[in-house]
Amino acid sequence: MKEKYMFWRTSGWGLSLLLVLPILAIFYTAIGESDEVFSHLMGTVMATYTSNTFWLVSGTVLLALLFGLPAAWIMAMCRLPGEKILQWALVLPLAMPGYIIGYIYTDWFDYAGPIQIFLRDVFGWQSIHDYWFPDIRSLGGASMVLALVLYPYIYLLARAAFMEQSVSLLQSARLLRCSPWDSFRRISLPLARPSIAVGMSLVAMETLGDFGTVSYFAVNTLTTAVYDTWLGYSNLNAAAKISAIMLMVIFLLISAERFSRRKQKLFQQEFEHGDDVRYSLTGAKKWLALGWCWGLVGCAFVMPLLQLGYYAWHYFAESWTTEFQQYSINSLVVSLAAALFAVMLALIVNFYHRLDGRRSTLVPIRASSLGYAVPGTVLAIGVMIPLTSADHLLNDFAISFGLGRPGLVFSGTMIAIIFAFVVRFAAVAIGSIESSLAKVPPSLDMASKTMGYASTQMLRRVHLPLIRRGCLIAGLLVFIESMKELNAALLLRPFNFETLATYVFNFASDEQLELAALPAILLVIVGLIPLVMVNRSLEQKH
């Protein structure tokens, strides 16, 4: 007789419903009647917010494509000196938060920055009226900064796609005397289009959800509208409506990406060991390729990191304070808690699917992963709605029994941030543990049942030792992502509570980048860990 797995069924469906609750809460609140604040926004500034968002996303995607696509083709199809180091270095900008790059570039390119001061000294210009210089604090400047940070999404996916293309097709193109440009335009690019489309959609979603960079550049987008509506007007209803609009945009982006490749099927044989059909660049072409790739690394990572290092060294005494140490501990506690809960949830929903095996058991897995596509600012509003309702219920219940008001137990404590981080990054843990469980032979499950093991014993004594590495990686990735998360932390942090991300944001927003440099470097170092893991996995594949 088949075991009912009541505990796993109840836990899997219950936890997945809890994680999808913030998204449902946004739409439930958004369909309510419009209030004066939302009507005022719709009649005045919403068109500007929407237009800015469209142009910001479009500009960032195009620039990221311009930066990442040539670099991906060069690293996949050309032989270059130092290519082993370069192919890893091109991924490093992902570890640099966009708002930190924005602060540094503004410091360099602003009117009072070193670059414009140097130009005025050299050419004898006296004021801004004597010359023209592009305004870094603009929508175009924000697009450039975000593209420098996000182009590795396109680079990674496009490079992998180029390396998986059929050797015979590339050799046939050479026999037909196709130039490298013709080979790229007529063979490599069309075959890599699905991967490029995925990379572009990732860049678009990250741009749509960015708050730190656009806030500093004074570009009003839908994300800043959510933030301002909640903190400025204290209006959760209007914030939920704007959040619902953003969720619909994200849904359209994902649907458009999938629709664009719905009928495309690729049957290719990737590079085999010993096959080297790459081009040998010489002369000016070699130096141009090296200059392009190393220039990206220098502009997006090396020079900003050197600037942060300079500030951290000279202002170490002012930066190493009790506040910095306390906020580091805050980030550590919150991130560790989120990682622990995310791994536990991922184990439950994945193990339930393995035990039952029916297609319906995939629903909790997919539902629990939805939060990863939701911007942090939008997710914060979704988390606030049910937690605020839970606080009201708890206080009403306590008063009815004469216990007094316990206060904001859920929405006013670390519970809100931890819950948001788990909703946001559970997909990372679920994917890691899902791939680890898939490598465990089903015969071990049958042998365990034959020996009389219950499902909990099977998990503890058979599966956990085998998937321990996958669990550790899942927890590490969730921990790192939680350490870097800014948007949700800004909206959900309790009073007098800061994380490293909000600490850096507050200093940099006050034009005190020198004091923000030390915690910013710590965030960058933490962000390097998953990049090293991703690059090592790519090297093992190819």
CB atoms within 10 A of CB 275: 13
Average pLDDT of the residues of the chain: 83
Q: How confident is the model at residue 299 (pLDDT cuts 50, 70, 90)?
A: very high
Within a domain: 270:
no
For the domain that residue 288 is a member of, what is the CATH number?
Answer: 1.10.3720.10
Per-residue pLDDT at 273 exceeds 50: no
Question: Within this chain, do residues 294 and 420 fall inside the same structural domain, yes or no?
Answer: no
Question: Within this chain, do residues 525 and 441 fall inside the same structural domain, yes or no?
Answer: no
Within a domain: 271:
no
Is 113 in contact with 86 (CB distance < 8 Å)?
Answer: no
Predicted local confidence at residue 274, as pLDDT: 46
Looking at 187-321, list the stretches that DSSP marks H as alpha helix, in order from N- to C-terminal side: 189-209, 212-216, 222-233, 236-260, 283-297, 303-314, 316-319
Question: Within this chain, do residues 495 and 424 fall inside the same structural domain, yes or no?
Answer: yes
Question: Within this chain, do residues 419 and 386 fall inside the same structural domain, yes or no?
Answer: yes
Q: How confident is the model at residue 318 (pLDDT cuts 50, 70, 90)?
A: confident
Predicted local confidence at residue 293, as pLDDT: 92
Q: Which tens digits make up the pLDDT trace of 100-141?
A: 888 899 889 888 888 888 888 888 888 778 888 888 888 999
Per-residue pLDDT at 295 exceeds 90: yes
Within a domain: 480:
yes
Q: How confident is the model at residue 63 (pLDDT cuts 50, 70, 90)?
A: very high
Q: Which tens digits make up the pLDDT trace of 422-474?
A: 999 988 888 888 888 888 888 887 887 787 777 777 888 888 888 888 888 88
Adjacent-strand bridge partners of 415 = none
> How many domains does the structure of the chain reveal?
2
Question: Within this chain, do residues 356 and 407 fall inside the same structural domain, yes or no?
Answer: yes
Per-residue pLDDT at 4 exceeds 70: no
Predicted local confidence at residue 1, as pLDDT: 37
Predicted local confidence at residue 431, as pLDDT: 84
Within a domain: 341:
yes
Predicted local confidence at residue 296, as pLDDT: 93
Per-residue pLDDT at 59 exceeds 90: yes
Question: Within this chain, do residues 68 and 151 fall inside the same structural domain, yes or no?
Answer: yes
Q: Give the C-alpha separation, 324 to 519, whole Å.
A: 8
| One-character DSSP codes across 253-282 | HHHHHHHHTSS------PPPTT----EE--
Within a domain: 276:
no
Q: Which tens digits make up the pLDDT trace of 21-42?
A: 998 988 888 887 667 888 888 8
At CA 493, angle to CA 491 and CA 498, rounded to 5? 120
Question: Within this chain, do residues 118 and 81 fall inside the same structural domain, yes or no?
Answer: yes
Mean pLDDT for 191-218 is 84
Per-residue pLDDT at 417 exceeds 90: yes
Question: Within this chain, do residues 491 and 522 fall inside the same structural domain, yes or no?
Answer: no
| One-character DSSP codes across 99-168 | HHHHHHHHHHHSTTSHHHHHHHHHHT--SGGGS----SSSHHHHHHHHHHHHHHHHHHHHHHHHHTS-HH
Q: How confident is the model at residue 351 (pLDDT cuts 50, 70, 90)?
A: confident
Question: Within this chain, do residues 539 and 433 fall inside the same structural domain, yes or no?
Answer: no
Per-residue pLDDT at 268 exceeds 80: no
CA distances 253 to 140, 144, 213, 532, Å, are 22, 21, 21, 29
Per-residue pLDDT at 3 exceeds 80: no
Within a domain: 43:
no
Per-residue pLDDT at 539 exceeds 60: no
Q: How confident is the model at residue 534 (pLDDT cuts 50, 70, 90)?
A: low
pTM: 0.83
Predicted local confidence at residue 176, as pLDDT: 60
More confident residue, 198 or 308: 308
Predicted local confidence at residue 378, as pLDDT: 86
Mean pLDDT for 381-404 is 86
Within a domain: 479:
yes
Question: Within this chain, do residues 411 and 470 fall inside the same structural domain, yes or no?
Answer: yes
Within a domain: 456:
yes
DSSP state for residue 217 in the 8-state scheme? T
More confident residue, 258 or 204: 204
Share of the chain above pLDDT 90, in %: 18
More confident residue, 306 or 403: 306
Per-residue pLDDT at 275 exceeds 60: no
Q: Give the C-alpha separation, 442 to 362, whole Å.
A: 18
Per-residue pLDDT at 529 exceeds 70: yes
Mean pLDDT for 44-63 is 91
Half-sphere exposure of 241 (CA within 13 A, CB side): 17
Per-residue pLDDT at 198 exceeds 60: yes
Predicted local confidence at residue 168, as pLDDT: 62
Question: Within this chain, do residues 86 and 140 fall inside the same structural domain, yes or no?
Answer: yes
Q: How confident is the model at residue 260 (pLDDT cuts 50, 70, 90)?
A: low
Mean pLDDT for 236-251 is 84
Highest mean pLDDT among 123-127, 168-172, 277-281, 486-490: 486-490
Question: Within this chain, do residues 434 and 378 fall inside the same structural domain, yes or no?
Answer: yes
Max Cα-Cα span within the chain? 90
Structural domain for 187, as ranges = 55-220+281-314+510-542
